[in-house]
């Protein structure tokens, strides 16, 4: 039996999104981004963390019900023969000279298919109404699908978002105590106003309060990245980074290794950071 995405992540089919995300992060934590298993686990998480794609995937795992055998319909030709025999039997009983052999022979003058009567050809009104509703639904579905982005458009958007995420983390996660205002301004240009106001600015206020005394500076190096979830205007990107950090109490930079899930959204043609979720790799 082919293993499912649930099997690859080691979770049950009814696992919650938090359980799936935790299993995925644990699975890729020690893998090199070029490892085939790294890409496979990312693909499994991408499907199972998207509610619509997960529902479709779960449906594909359910076995089809076995079709029930249908009773064999009586052949129209058989019904025709029986009818002809009955009519000829009546003729014989009335004194006709037709023999039993003639009763057994098929009537070659009769067409194989009898025309339907007017009553048989009538279509019920409820069936016409149902067909009208079905046509309306099909037209509505076709109109909706016509407005949806193509696979090529989503692929292009995903690639652009991934590149933008790699550039953004090198600026947003970096700072230098000698020019904190410039660092904050540069980072703010790469994120949405909501994320800047609600999360980034409060965090940077704490950094700015301590960095000068510690003479702290942080640079960021992108090691690799991958797609967690993709769409035309919203993409989650997993970025692996090294963060060399220098302070006055250190003689050489201390390197931190992090994995960062960056949520990118498209606004006015630009991909901006709308959230950052950082976990240390050790």
279 beta partners: 259
User: Does some domain include residue 37?
Assistant: yes
Q: Is residue 12 part of a domain?
A: yes
In a domain, 159, yes or no: yes
Tell whether 77 is covered by a domain.
Answer: no
For residues 160 and 274, membership in a common domain is answered with yes
Q: Give the tokens for residue 214.
A: 């510690």
- Asked whether 240 and 223 are in contact (CB, 8 A), the reply is yes
For the chain, what is the domain count? Answer: 2
Burial 180-213 (b: 16+ CB within 10 A, else e): beebbeebbebbbeebbeeebeeebeebeeebee
Q: For residues 61 and 225, give the distance between their C-alpha atoms in angstroms, rounded to a whole number.
A: 30
Q: What percent of the chain lies above the pLDDT cut of 70?
A: 71
Task: Report the CATH number that the domain containing residue 211 is assigned in CATH.
Answer: 3.10.450.230
pTM beyond 0.85: the answer is no
Expressed as residue numbers, the domain containing 187 is 154-280
249 domain residue, yes or no: yes
Higher pLDDT, 154 or 205: 205
Residue that finishes a domain, picked among 20, 42, 57: 57
In a domain, 135, yes or no: no
Residue after which a domain boundary falls, among 17, 39, 57: 57
Using CA atoms, how far residue 145 sits from 141, 231, 266, in Å, is 6, 15, 21
Q: Identify the weakest region by mean pLDDT among 65-79, 158-172, 260-274.
A: 65-79
Which strand (E) or helix (H) includes residue 175? strand 175-176
Choose the most confident range, by mean pLDDT, from 82-86, 99-103, 108-112, 197-201.
Answer: 197-201
pLDDT of residue 155: 76
Which is it for the CA torsion 85, 86, 89, 90, positive or negative?
A: negative
What is the reported pLDDT for 12? 95
Residue 144 placed within a domain: no
């Amino acid at each position: 039996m082919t293993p499912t995405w649930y099997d690859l992540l080691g979770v049950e089919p009814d696992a919650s999104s938090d359980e799936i995300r935790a299993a995925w992060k644990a699975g890729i934590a020690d893998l090199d981004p070029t490892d085939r298993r790294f890409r496979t686990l990312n693909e499994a998480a991408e499907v199972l963390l998207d509610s619509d794609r997960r529902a479709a995937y779960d449906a594909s795992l359910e076995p089809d019900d076995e079709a029930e055998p249908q009773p064999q319909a009586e052949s129209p030709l058989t019904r025709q023969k029986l009818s002809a025999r009955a009519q000829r039997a009546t003729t014989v009983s009335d004194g006709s000279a037709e023999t039993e052999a003639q009763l057994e022979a098929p009537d070659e003058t009769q067409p194989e298919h009898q025309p339907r009567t007017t009553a048989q050809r009538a279509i019920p009104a409820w069936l016409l109404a149902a067909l009208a509703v079905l046509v309306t639904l099909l037209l509505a579905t076709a109109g909706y699908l016509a407005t949806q982005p193509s696979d090529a458009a989503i692929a292009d958007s995903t690639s652009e978002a991934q590149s933008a995420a790699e550039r953004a983390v090198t600026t947003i996660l970096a700072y230098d105590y000698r020019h904190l205002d410039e660092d904050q301004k540069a980072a703010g240009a790469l994120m949405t106003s909501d994320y800047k106001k609600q999360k980034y600015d409060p965090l940077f206020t704490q950094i700015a309060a301590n960095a000068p005394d510690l003479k702290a500076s942080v640079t960021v190096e992108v090691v690799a990245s991958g797609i967690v979830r993709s769409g035309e205007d919203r993409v989650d990107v997993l970025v692996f980074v090294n963060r060399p950090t220098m302070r006055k109490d250190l003689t050489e930079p201390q390197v931190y290794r992090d994995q960062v899930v960056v949520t990118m959204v498209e606004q006015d043609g630009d991909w901006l950071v709308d959230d950052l979720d950082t976990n240390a790799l050790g």
